Chains A and B, each alone.
Chain A
């Protein structure tokens, strides 16, 4: 199979977009193209554009955004398709880009992930995200993603001894990292005492989905990210020979039950484990080879649980690793150097691409202020639904 790698990355400032949805996608795309030196018009070498987005059709009333982007960027007649896999749309779009090149159908693919969620109210955004749940067994009850995270967290607390302070430790770490990421939505340090002290916790960190509090979950964000993929055997010919080739060593998705109640072990995130195992096998690597990771911390409990499922720490000990500082920059397994979804933000369709952009910057040695020294291999987990469709991606410069 052909080697596929990344030669260009782009990322908008997450938060509240000042430009319309298509312009936001184009901003990330152009940054990735300029990073790689890709041209437009008659000099275009991009065969295919994939756009990963969950809800542009639903909340922005914009469908067919991939076609619109190709036209806006003067990349016609490149092929263009939209990819939807809930909050894992971005990583799924990268997987399809990888498959298109590895199979020989394409030589160069532009992948963009984006979401514009702050045009609607908080309760409309919560409802829109909940539409991926089972319509009869979950959605109609008013069950949402924070609801499932609350149900899951209570079980983890009971079974493994995770407590609210552990969740806050993860949150504080990710806020600290985001202060060094100019693209992060919330670039503000958080003091552990301020969000855990029982004397004023209900004012500074109110309950949202018991036992989860505000600082145990990500904000609602707008944003876009893009990567330019190319076949190794065409890198020189297409004009990207000057760029460091960050190889996609492994990429896989896996699924679990749509109905969360029907999972055999309710504290397991089976699709995280299976997608990571598939990606490790494809790469010929294991968790010991990973220098830096971006894990999908839409809720802080997920960073802890995912760090166990991908094999960084034994089952039920992810929170102990967080307490020890193992997941901080400079720790044994740095996680979410970008600030994670918690502080960098979580524009659903953008997140999977954004995670890969962060890993590329780490592996190129360009993550100023948050660089993991000597990082050569990274892992990203992009979590769709409440874990019913998960993508794992391994990048390396080895």
Chain B
């Protein structure tokens, strides 16, 4: 089972997603991070349904959203249902977000809580 992570600065404690080289806290210069699972409940901030998908997606459309997790971390991902509204409570899962030749790409797929 694939796992998604956030990255905690070992100097100031700020959480990041995705991984950064230097801590994004303007008052910190940390370069080391503790890797923590990023999962569970989240709130949908905004969403869209896209019909002109790029190369490599054999679907008529895909739903995308930006969510905020309970720990404050924000992330983009795919949404696997169609009756979507801003502010909905969702739960994050990890699945194949793009099929590849030899290896698939895994990422967030948000479902109804």
The stretch among A75-83, A138-146, A312-320, A355-363 that forms the contact with chain B is A138-146
Q: Which residues 282-312 of A have a CB within 8 angstroms of B?
A: none
Residues of B within 8 A of A212 (CB): 48
Residues of B within 8 A of A154 (CB): 46-48, 86
A208 CB contact (under 8 Å) in B47, B51, B57, B86: B51
A155 within 8 A of B: yes
Are A209 and B48 closer than 8 Å at their CB atoms?
Answer: yes
A124 within 8 A of B: yes
B13 within 8 A of A: no
Please, what's the 1-or-0 string for A117-155, where 1 marks a CB less than 8 Å from any CB in chain B? 000001110110010001011101111101100111011
B53 CB contact (under 8 Å) in A123, A134, A138: A123
Are A123 and B48 closer than 8 Å at their CB atoms?
Answer: no
Residue in chain A with minimal CB distance to B105: A140
Residues of A within 8 A of B62 (CB): 142
The stretch among A100-108, A192-200, A255-263, A365-373 that forms the contact with chain B is A255-263
Are B76 and A137 closer than 8 Å at their CB atoms?
Answer: yes
Please, what's the 1-or-0 string for B38-81, where 1 marks a CB less than 8 Å from any CB in chain A? 00000001111111111111000010111000000011111000
Report Cα–Cα, A234/B103, bound state, in Å.
59
A207 within 8 A of B: yes
Are B48 and A151 closer than 8 Å at their CB atoms?
Answer: yes
B12 within 8 A of A: no
Report Cα–Cα, A211/B86, bound state, in Å.
13
Given contacts A123-B52, A123-B54, A209-B50, A137 and B18 within 8 Å (CB-CB): yes
A158 within 8 A of B: yes
* Chain B interface, >50% SS class: strand
Please, what's the 1-or-0 string for A232-266, where 1 marks a CB less than 8 Å from any CB in chain B? 00000000000000000000000000011110001
Are A207 and B49 closer than 8 Å at their CB atoms?
Answer: yes
Most buried by B among A126, A138, A147, A207: A147
Are A208 and B52 closer than 8 Å at their CB atoms?
Answer: yes
Residues of A within 8 A of B24 (CB): 262
Residue in chain B with minimal CB distance to A134: B18
Residue in chain B with minimal CB distance to A136: B18
Most buried by B among A154, A206, A211: A154
Q: With both chains docked as a complex, state the minimum distance between the C-beta of A268 and any C-beta of chain B, in angstroms.
A: 14
A34 within 8 A of B: no
B112 within 8 A of A: no
Are A262 and B74 closer than 8 Å at their CB atoms?
Answer: yes
A71 within 8 A of B: no
Are A260 and B76 closer than 8 Å at their CB atoms?
Answer: yes
Residue in chain B with minimal CB distance to A120: B55
Report Cα–Cα, A136/B75, bound state, in Å.
11
Residues of B within 8 A of A152 (CB): 46
Are B18 and A259 closer than 8 Å at their CB atoms?
Answer: yes
Residues of A within 8 A of B49 (CB): 150, 207, 209-210
Residues of A within 8 A of B17 (CB): 137
Given contacts A260-B76, A261-B76, A151 and B55 within 8 Å (CB-CB): no
Please, what's the 1-or-0 string for A63-98, where 1 marks a CB less than 8 Å from any CB in chain B? 000000000000000000000000000000000000
Q: Can you list 25 residue pairs at the A/B interface with Cβ under 8 Å?
A: A126-B52, A137-B18, A138-B76, A140-B97, A141-B78, A141-B107, A142-B56, A142-B97, A142-B98, A143-B64, A144-B54, A147-B48, A150-B48, A151-B46, A151-B48, A154-B86, A155-B46, A207-B49, A209-B48, A209-B50, A209-B51, A210-B48, A210-B50, A260-B76, A266-B46
Where the two chains meet, the residues of B that have a C-beta atom closer than 8 Å to any C-beta of A are 17-19, 24, 45-57, 62, 64-66, 74-78, 86, 97-98, 105, 107-108
Where the two chains meet, the residues of A that have a C-beta atom closer than 8 Å to any C-beta of B are 122-124, 126-127, 130, 134, 136-138, 140-144, 146-147, 150-152, 154-155, 158, 206-212, 259-262, 266
